[in-house]
Amino acid sequence: GAVVSQHPSRVICKSGTSVKIECRSLDFQATTMFWYRQFPKQSLMLMATSNEGSKATYEQGVEKDKFLINHASLTLSTLTVTSAHPEDSSFYICSASSPIRSSYEQYFGPGTRLTVT
Amino acid sequence: QKEVEQNSGPLSVPEGAIASLNCTYSDRVSQSFFWYRQYSGKSPELIMSIYSNGDKEDGRFTAQLNKASQYVSLLIRDSQPSDSATYLCAVTAPPSVTGGGNKLTFGTGTQLKVEL
């Protein structure tokens, strides 16, 4: 149980293009999903928190117009990196939680490695 | 001051030994505590969660929490080479404090190496 998938697992795009990453909770309904970014040899940095049906809450320093988050259903959230630049190259990881399932535990997807050339 | 602190390591232990990983946190209202394991190039995997003072055991893993000292630890018994990974300590505060959403604050992780 508590399986979270992400797609794609790896993407290479050209500078200036946009990339969409999907995050799905496969066997539970996720009231809250989180998006993280991890640079090499660094810890996870929370980018934003999204609740189903409402606007995402972005962490300080994260550009909401650049990183568009949509949480349209209880099993799907998407992160779109708009006008990507090489400095956006990173490992993007989503997680999902549900208070019904277990208080405050977050289950992570396998991550998406983005390379912007 | 970092909110969640861990020794970056690497912590090297021989196979079969007990590995002890430590974590301190700064926010006294923190309520939930987690240990995640992350292999190189992979995403974190939940190992243990602990919510109240004392010990919690699950197989070879034991989490220990001391809220008075703001300290949480993870013991791995009979360490195996497959336990070699980075172990991340994570802490949440009540939703009313964080503004909602059960946000996790991660430490920078401790790299564990189990040697044959």
Assess whether pLDDT exceeds 80 at residue A107.
yes
Q: Tell me the pLDDT band of A26, cut-offs 50, 70 and 90.
A: very high
Residues of B within 8 A of A103 (CB-CB) are 32, 51
Mean pLDDT of A79-102: 90
A–B CB contacts, 8 A cutoff, strictly below: 55
Assess whether pLDDT exceeds 70 at residue A43.
yes
> CB of A56 within 8 A of CB of A80?
no
pLDDT at residue number A100: 67
pLDDT at residue number B96: 57
Cβ–Cβ below 8 Å for B46 and A93: no
Q: How far apart are CA A38 and CA A46, in angstroms?
A: 9
Residues of A within 8 A of B34 (CB-CB) are 105-106
Does any CB of chain A come closer than 8 Å to the CB of residue B96? no
As averages over each run of 10 residues, the pLDDT of chain B (116 residues) reads 85 97 90 94 94 95 96 97 96 63 86 95
Per the document, the length of chain B is: 116
Between B24 and A32, the higher pLDDT residue: B24
From the list B31, B99, B104, which residue is nearest A106 (CB)? B104
The four Cα atoms A64, A65, A69, A70 give a dihedral, to 10 degrees, of 130
Q: How far apart are CA A4 and CA A101, in angstroms?
A: 14
Is beta strand B85-92 parallel, antiparallel or unpaired with respect to B110-115?
antiparallel
From the list A32, A103, A110, which residue is nearest B43 (CB)? A110
pLDDT at residue number A64: 92
pLDDT at residue number A30: 86
Does any CB of chain B come closer than 8 Å to the CB of residue A62? no
Does any CB of chain A come closer than 8 Å to the CB of residue B35? no
Cβ–Cβ below 8 Å for B44 and A108: yes
Which residue of A39, A94, A106, A113 to mutate against B (max B Cβ within 10 Å)?
A106
Which residues face B74 on adjacent strands?
B21, B63
Rg of chain B over all Cα atoms, to the nearest angstrom:
14
From the list A104, A108, A111, which residue is nearest B32 (CB)? A104
Tens-place pLDDT, residues A49-84: 998 888 899 999 999 999 999 988 889 999 999 999
